[in-house]
Amino acid sequence: MTRRLNFAYLLSLVLMVSACGTDTGSGDRGSSTSSQQTRGVTITTSSGIMPEDSRFSLRLTDAPIDNLSRVMVRFTAVEMKRKQGGWSRYTFDTPQDIDLLALQGMTTADLLVEMPIEPGNYKQVRFLVDETPMANWVEHKSGGTHNLEIPDGGSKGLKVGQNFTIPQDRLINFTVDFDLRKAVKYKKGSGTYRLKSKMRLVVDENVGVIRGTVGSSWLLGAGCSDANVDTHNAVYVFAGHNVVPDDIDESSNTDVEPLTTTPISYDAASGLYLYEAAFLPQGNYTVAFTCNSDLDDTDTDDILPFFYTQNVNVLVTDTTFLKP
């Protein structure tokens, strides 16, 4: 059966305050104190010097996973690692429980807001978590909760390695995208899941978003995994134009990997099936649709059917509409 993806609109735009639900003001001239600053955080540094004139905010979002309805992680601290080995540590007086699966599209959770930090070049962000049993857990769509293991999460943490710079006397806003489709693994026969460090870090002022719609008739049919219009539908986003889409396959170093994936969900207000791939760095992308996302076992090389591909340009300062 040949199907065509109906893009009512595809657009890229600068992230605005109303879109994130928080003050994004990346690059704003800052001071050492702020009424918006996260409270209940103890700051320590390897140098013993308390930072004053530069600040950062750190928000979380995620790419979804099939079959789970909640992915709860209990964060205890965040570390920002400098290139020269120094670090700044932000320890929560009360651990922060966050449902990562609730953070899709433009939805984010503030973890740290307008926190002081030493300016300079950094190479890594580490998220430390509570490792006690059931401190981190998942809920299956069919019912039941399961422990979520995060190996060395209380000592080494979940790491995202990426070079970035904290300028002097500035506020920089970061978003970390937890790709749960890649990160969460079921340990067969154990009843337990495991969370790996599969994340990417972006500066909010340098990214855009792709939005679109998919006709409901194309979410059904003999080629789909089932006849339920609300299941196993996803859009995969690949870096570059004219990419031949492929599944997520960590067992191979040669296959094309999606930068992110996003679900297709029914919006009652508009009566449309919508998707939203957010926090994409400015550049060229290929988007591809599948109604067989349940077939994507990230540990193996699978034949995953894609029914449509489209080239998209994501721009930060312009808004571009692609009509069907």
- CA pair distance 90, 118, nearest whole angstrom: 13
In this structure, what are the phi and psi dihedrals at residue 47, rounded to the nearest 5 degrees? -85, -15
| pLDDT recorded at residue 252 | 59
pTM of the model: 0.81
Q: What is the 3-state secondary structure (H, E, C) of 235-278?
A: EEEEECCCCCCCCCCCCCCCCCCCCEEEECEEECCCCEEEEEEE
Instruction: Provide CB contacts within 8 A for 28, sequence distance 6+.
Output: 170, 171
Which tokens is 174 given?
Answer: 């970061």
Taking residue 187's Cβ as centre, other Cβ atoms within 10 Å add up to 12
| pLDDT recorded at residue 145 | 93
Blockwise average pLDDT, block size 10, the chain, 324 residues: 39 30 33 63 88 90 86 96 91 96 89 94 96 94 91 91 91 92 82 89 89 84 82 91 88 76 88 89 92 81 85 70 35
Cβ distance 147 to 193 under 8 Å?
A: yes
Cβ distance 138 to 193 under 8 Å?
A: yes
Helix residue ranges, H only, the chain: 17-20, 180-183
Instruction: Report how far apart the first and last C-alpha atoms of the chain are (Å, whole number).
Output: 20
